[in-house]
Structure 1
């Protein structure tokens, strides 16, 4: 790790202004904060910008309680920066990401082809990118502040689902190290901020619309949603039901069909399933226990006569169950 840290530092000079771009969630926020700390006093300035809408109550609580300095991407002039970094993601993961050439890419998702950057460090075996960033901190002999430690600590809890999902020994080591520095009471407040009055209606809709297949798979299509995070929250909620091994929740947002997949992690691979079922239509992939697809509605028009909710719901089930309406895809889901 010391060698990787040296190579990372060598990318930058004191006169650099660094833009760190993320799709804001606990892991990316904590990772960006850590990179910013690693570069402190080694560059002129840095800024963290996010491309998505932060609407999940726990994510809003994270930013508010820890006073994390974030800026919306649309409010920043990227031409004013001399270096670009992306953490907890890769350029192909979003159209906005793909617009830029990066100097640094640090991630834990499966490696996408065609990556180019002076510094690339990707470890899919890690359950959380924050675990990897914690290793950089330790290699730099930087003791994290309570704020930074709390952000990293919470991010590891979230991305490993309290170590119930795929994890590595490195995740455990990072979590144990951060335990001494994190403000656990503050982390608990963030964890309890899961629901708002506005989100309750989506839970009601999901419960009324859900379809259970073979007593182990739940499907729910929410129609138009105010944020893709609602699909994530409800997919995670359904996984709490006894005997359910798969949860597939979808919704429409900003002209895209969002499909969120969750499973119990036992001899399953949500990432491969999402890729096989939907990648021919839009970005799709993820980890063994959690994955996502984002399909532009215009790409569905060649397959579906209409994009009303019932047709879309049927389309998703057929793709997942290996009876696709599109290309010949057959994916084992058991």
Structure 2
């Protein structure tokens, strides 16, 4: 475990901090960025920014940003490549340049705080703990152990992030999450937590989840489905969460076309399957994918698929066939799924 005093020393000796979120940031990433920014402010860093790429489309994520007034800026590569001396670059909730982020591969990162599976994580300060359930848990420990003043906004952000990342303390949770939640509970705004937990849902998200239900096929305890083309990227993990609860299903993988990429989301409670490893092995040669044993995601550029045909239905069919075939091969399934009794 890294020593938070080393982080404080690094922040105290610097003048500027750029925190980069992973693509399409979720509450765990956003809350962690918010907390690191607060720690940097207390260390005397006045120039701070949080950058993100992709979209924030999940209704909970939008509510999180709006209700907690998280100040975000669109990713600007110039702020990364042309950093002045005394400027720090930090990753929270991800760790490798070019993997699920817009930072050029090979870029030197100063601070990395993450809980996802990854290899060869480097930085001047690295706290990479795959054995905790959320990056927000690590940042909560920093806030608590350094005696940093915590207000209702920060406490609510971190507590909501831990709850969301662990699906209400039901997935990937450890003792550390309960201890963090116990500390945060006394400072959090209960009314704000309720608002974050019950945001409105768009009709497009409902339609995408319905398509995932209609297109599902089941091989043993593995369910694979797609939503076709959608503007609602975050409908995929919501569909995966829901379909993973179906009777007899232990692994659910949902994919779909979002703009010029194929997005994927996987969930698994099968002890024999590490869904992060499955997606990475199946698609690392054509895109980026990975995550945890129980939850993972991935992104593949449409590439040759988009050049092959201008017919949207044909494009969806081709993508469905290729992605499904790769998943079945990686999972060593025969592909004779049951689409009627799933």
Task: Kindly state the Cα deviation for residue 74 of structure 1 after the two structures are TM-superposed.
Answer: 4.3
| One of 251, 255, 280 as aligned partner of 1:250 | 255
| One of 61, 64, 70 as aligned partner of 1:62 | 64
- CA separation in 2, counterparts of 1:179 and 1:238? 31
Corresponding residue for residue 284 of structure 1: 289
- CA separation in 2, counterparts of 1:264 and 1:300? 32
- CA separation in 1, counterparts of 2:46 and 2:63? 30
- CA separation in 2, counterparts of 1:232 and 1:121? 27
| One of 204, 219, 224 as aligned partner of 1:219 | 224
- CA separation in 2, counterparts of 1:134 and 1:86? 16
Matched, 1:110 2:117: yes
Corresponding residue for residue 325 of structure 1: none
Matched, 1:314 2:321: yes
| One of 151, 160, 169 as aligned partner of 1:163 | 169
Corresponding residue for residue 48 of structure 2: 46
Corresponding residue for residue 138 of structure 1: 144
Task: Kindly state the Cα deviation for residue 30 of structure 1 after the two structures are TM-superposed.
Answer: 0.6
Task: Kindly state the Cα deviation for residue 206 of structure 1 after the two structures are TM-superposed.
Answer: 2.1
Matches within 5 A, 1:229-308: 229-264=234-269, 266-298=271-303, 308=315
The more displaced of 187-196 and 203-212 is: 203-212
Q: TM-score, normalised by structure 2?
A: 0.86
Corresponding residue for residue 97 of structure 1: 103
- CA separation in 2, counterparts of 1:143 and 1:137? 8
- CA separation in 2, counterparts of 1:299 and 1:21? 30
SS of aligned partner of 2:117: coil
Unaligned runs of 5+ in 2: 335-342
- CA separation in 2, counterparts of 1:148 and 1:229? 24
Aligned residues: 323
| Deviation digits for residues 44-102 of structure 1 (CA, Å, limit 9, x no counterpart) | 32111111211111111111111122222249844466221110011242351335421
Task: Kindly state the Cα deviation for residue 123 of structure 1 after the two structures are TM-superposed.
Answer: 0.2
The more displaced of 93-102 and 55-64 is: 93-102
The more displaced of 29-38 and 88-97 is: 88-97
Corresponding residue for residue 337 of structure 2: none
Unaligned runs of 5+ in 1: 323-328
Compared with structure 1, are the counterparts of its residues 288 and 299 closer, same or farther at alpha carbon in structure 2 (3 Å cutoff)?
A: farther
- CA separation in 1, counterparts of 2:14 and 2:226? 50
Task: Kindly state the Cα deviation for residue 198 of structure 1 after the two structures are TM-superposed.
Answer: 2.8
Contact 1:38 1:140 in 2 (8 A): no
> RMSD in angstroms over aligned alpha carbons?
2.7
| Deviation digits for residues 297-321 of structure 1 (CA, Å, limit 9, x no counterpart) | 22679999x9722232222232222
Corresponding residue for residue 339 of structure 2: none
